[in-house]
Amino acid sequence: MYLRLFKLLTVKVTNGVKAPHKALMLLTIFDLIESGYIKSNEIFLDDNIAKIFKEKWNKLIASQERFKFFSPNPWTPFWHLKNDHFWRFVPNKGFSSDDIDKISSGITPSIGKLRKIIHCAKLEQSLYDLLLEKDKRETLANVLITEYISI
């Protein structure tokens, strides 16, 4: 089921090239699960995710000419993954899902606004459980790399 969903992520296309951001964010999350940094189904907007995302960008994306129109902002895919049905946000205390829904879906809010309203992101529980298995995580990573990153 997730193989198909990962092949059909809703991504921006510029000059016929699929934006690699969501795939790279998911690969970042896979790495953080594998390393033990992510220990539960809560993905926080922290500097470590940004650091790993940018390292992966430099390793996999930066040298590819076809991606020259894209910039490595990790908060863009973090926010826009909400358009894919396996990713949802948990609001901070004092905020609700309605507050998150009121933010225009066509823009990426600032990291300050995201941190103010969003406590964390969560994956669909069955996907998170699947990602705890190394072989399943590697299979899904290969789909993301093949579909959005490899030439």
Over residues 93-126, the pLDDT tens digits come to 999 999 898 886 667 888 888 999 999 999 999 9
Which residues partner with 77 through β-bridges? none
**How remote is the C-alpha of 54 from its chain's centroid?**
12
Domain ranges for the chain, please list them.
Answer: 2-7+26-149
Mean pLDDT over 130-146 rounds to 97
Give the mean pLDDT of the chain: 93
Which residues neighbour 148 within 8 Å (Cβ) at sequence distance 6 or greater?
Answer: 9, 11, 18, 19, 20, 22, 23, 24
> Can you give the pTM of this predicted structure?
0.93
48 in helix, strand or coil? helix
Let me know: does 1 contact 48? Beta carbons within 8 Å.
no
Angle at 19 between CA 136 and CA 71, to 5 degrees: 115
Q: From CA 142, how far away is CA 59, in angstroms rounded?
A: 16
Percent of the residues in the chain that have a pLDDT greater than 70, as a whole number: 97
pLDDT of residue 2: 86
Whether 121 and 78 have beta carbons less than 8 Å apart is answered as yes
Identify the weakest region by mean pLDDT among 1-10, 29-38, 138-147: 1-10
